[in-house]
Amino acid sequence: MDAGDLDDRDDMEGAPEGAGRAVEALLEELGEETQTQPAAHFGGLRGRTVVVSGGATGIGRQVAIEFARCGTNVAFTWVDLPDRSIAEEAAEVEQELQQLEVKVVAERVDVRDPRAVGAFIERVRQQLGGVHFLVNAAGIHRSAPLWKMTDEQWFDVLDVNLTGAFNMIRAVAPLLKSQRYGKVVNIASVHAFVGSFGVANYAASKSGLVGLTRSAAAELGPSNVNVNGVAPGYVRTGMLADVPDNVVADAIEGSALRRLPEPRDIAHVVLFLCSEMARQITGQVIRVDAGMCG
């Protein structure tokens, strides 16, 4: 699973004993590499406003920070997980963004609730003066073999990962159309293209997100709105502690670069797609997976 997704701590069946310990050692050994530098060379972002769903953790957090480094005002959503509160992490991200001297709006918003999403977008419009970019990074995973997958596991993942993105796009579309400018980037996954054990619900949600991306690009294109996607592979964050060691090892061995992407690698592609350098790119999904085979 890509690290932008919120972690519900549901492990895949068959994880070996001690799964995640080797990954944690890898993260500790390479921890210095996660430090980012300002991406100020991405033009057209300063003074505008980005909305990031799932911006308190994982890829969403890094996307929010990288936009702020470019002088972009940031609004982000977050929700608590079943087994832990995200409020403290959200407050930390909000403080970090404010230290970068941009305006910030951070709220607990369930992206599955269209009314809550619509109200949030309206508050962002009023407080930050508009919306120019939307990055859908909110997501969950609940892994299980499909013959053991419950209705709850299936619908929870589809509702957050796919319907949540739809709710966000639908809410901002009138604003982007009226101003005849905007960029939307959906965080998909290589699982939309590569089959894997235990992720039928997740893969279906991300495949649907790819379809949503392409359809939204066709519908919003005449209003000068670009809609694209980024499909990460396994990304080097603490979330890897919940992925079996053998799965991570296979992902590294199966990649052309023999390494895992970092959150900043995903965030920088998002920035590119929202910059004027990508003004002629729409309806595309860019894989950022170190050249995973499959």
Token pair of 138 as six digits: 């909110």
Type of residue at 147? W
Q: How many CB atoms lie within 10 A of CB 95?
A: 11
The residues annotated with a catalytic role in the active site are 202
Return the bridge partners of 187, or none.
230
Residue 269's alpha-carbon distances to 38, 148, 170, 197, 266, in angstroms, are: 14, 36, 23, 28, 5
Cβ 142 vs Cβ 153: under 8 Å:
yes
Backbone angles phi, psi at 172, to 5 degrees: -90, -15
Alpha helices in 198-262 (DSSP H): 200-220, 245-253
Both tokens of 104, joined, read 């910030």
Query: Is the torsion defined by CA of 155, 160, 162, 163 positive or negative?
Result: positive
CA distance 190 to 196: 10
Structure tokens at 80: 């608590």
